[in-house]
Amino acid sequence: MTSIFPASVPDSQLGLSPSEIQILRQHQQIALQNQPYPHSSISTRGRGHARTSASTSRAASAASSGNNGRLVLDPGSLALLGQHFERLMAAIQNRVDQLTAQTQMSTIHQSSRAGAAMAAADAEIVRFHAIIRQIDELETEFDKVRHIRDIVKGFRARVEGLERKMDARHARR
């Protein structure tokens, strides 16, 4: 019985880059080598598992022997390849989700640390302003005390001058 689909198609007709073709070939081999047992989810459309299994075995054999740059097109191997890519994409998406969650946790942690650092910096700024205010108050007090000291020095000098005058008057008498 002949199929209306060709058994395979050249990789070059798929519109893929050489690196994408290499990835496709690798994953086709993996998918066909890791094919599930006959009770798989591949639809057999009433033909039984033997026909799908035999077709898939031929595809696996062709894929593992290099396949001469062609993509196997039988329904069983394409179904296996599709399922393999679905599992692969689900695994990649799962890893992306894990990394996204880790990134979010890291961002939250960094944000918390930054918030704590900002709060600590704000507290230090308040403390710094209080210290500066105290220094200003002390400088004001220092200026007042210096002014009073200068007045006291002036009074003392006047008192000493008056004492000398009085002593000089008492000594003349």
Residues 6+ away with beta carbon under 8 Å from 59: 32, 72, 74, 76, 77, 80
CA-to-CA distance for 50 and 73, rounded, in angstroms?
A: 18
Question: Mapped to the 3 state alphabet, what secondary structure does the chain carry?
Answer: CCCCCCCEEEHHHHCCCHHHHHHHHHHHHHHHHCCCCCCCCCCCCCCCHHHHHHHHHHHHHHHHCCHHHEEECCHHHHHHHHHHHHHHHHHHHHHHHHHHHHHHHHHHHHHHHHHHHHHHHHHHHHHHHHHHHHHHHHHHHHHHHHHHHHHHHHHHHHHHHHHHHHHHHHHHC
- Residue 75's pLDDT is 83
User: Tens place of pLDDT for every residue, the chain, 173 residues?
Assistant: 455 555 778 877 888 888 988 888 888 888 888 766 544 444 444 444 444 444 445 544 444 445 567 777 788 888 888 999 999 999 999 999 999 999 999 999 999 999 999 999 999 999 999 999 999 999 999 999 999 999 999 999 999 999 999 988 888 87
SS3 percent helix, strand, coil of the chain, rounded to 5, is 80, 5, 15
- Residue 14's pLDDT is 81
- Residue 47's pLDDT is 43
